Amino acid sequence: RPGAADQCGTQTAMKWIFVLLLGVGLSAGFDREAAKDKLTDYRVLNQNLHLDKLEEDFEHLEEEYNKIDEPVSNETLRHLLFRIRRLEDDCPKRHVSCGGDHPICIHEIKVCDGIEDCKNGRDEHEKVCDDSIVSPGSTFIGLVHWTACKVRPDHEVIISITDSKHEDFFKPRAWLRATISRDDSHLHEDDSVFTSYNAKGYFSFGARLLVLAPVNDTDAGIPIAISCRFNYGNNDHGNCKVRMAASLQVCASFKVDRREM
């Protein structure tokens, strides 16, 4: 009886399916409990780790706060205020704010060009157009930290302005000649060894940016240029970068301070 054989086969298959489902069900039940425990353990561990991390962060913050609690110098405050003011200016690239209650932005090349573009005359103010940063004899010193291009040990650099010219046809910039000296005493333990080269460039009053490039090749072996932005709110301190002349990739950075002669 083929029909009876089929029925018997179907019954056997159904039994197996039932056993299989029971097994899966039991196994699923067991796994769910284990997973639940594991999940609880994980949550507790995670909470503990989270608390540890919070505690660690809090201790770190406390340390930072204690550092801040020390008296802040007027110089640092002036620098911070200058930076905040520049951030608040919200002017487009290569523009500067006229300041005041209703500040407008003017292009950098309109600063110190002899024509009042700001309503309050700030762009032609004698303080803004003061050229003491780049007057001949001005000397700045800094510690150069190389990070790319040609990585070398940190070394001292001295930038001395030797000549400064204002051309009537383009007053917003002063055209400069300078000497850049590098102290390689780290290579010669016994005494200081200076390497100097001549450079030329300009100072932009609007951007408060000094740009210098060596007149001839230097021993850096790559064409470089130095730019310093005097963004500390005074004429005595600036942030400088050494860049590849062609690609403008930053090779090194340093802060300069005026050296009183």
Binding site for Ca ion (CB under 5 A): 110, 113, 115, 117, 123
């930038």: which residue's tokens? 159
Q: How far is the CB of 116 from Ca ion (least distance, A)?
A: 6
User: In this complex, which beta carbon is closest to Ca ion, that of residue 110 or of residue 208?
Assistant: 110
Q: How far is the CB of 136 from Ca ion (least distance, A)?
A: 25
Through-space distance between the first and last CA atoms of the chain, rounded to whole angstroms: 120
Q: Phi then psi for 33, rounded to 5 degrees?
A: -65, -45
Q: Rounded distance, CA 157 to CA 191, Å?
A: 16
Q: How far is the CB of 131 from Ca ion (least distance, A)?
A: 16
User: In this complex, which beta carbon is closest to Ca ion, that of residue 205 or of residue 230?
Assistant: 205
Under 8 Å between Cβ of 237 and 257: yes
User: In this complex, which beta carbon is closest to Ca ion, that of residue 108 or of residue 123?
Assistant: 123
Q: How far is the CB of 170 from Ca ion (least distance, A)?
A: 13
User: In this complex, which beta carbon is closest to Ca ion, that of residue 108 or of residue 113?
Assistant: 113
In 3D space, the residue among 165, 153, 162, 230 whose CA is nearest the CA of residue 199 turns out to be 162
- Can you read off the two tokens belonging to residue 193? 């060894």
Q: Rounded distance, CA 201 to CA 213, Å?
A: 6
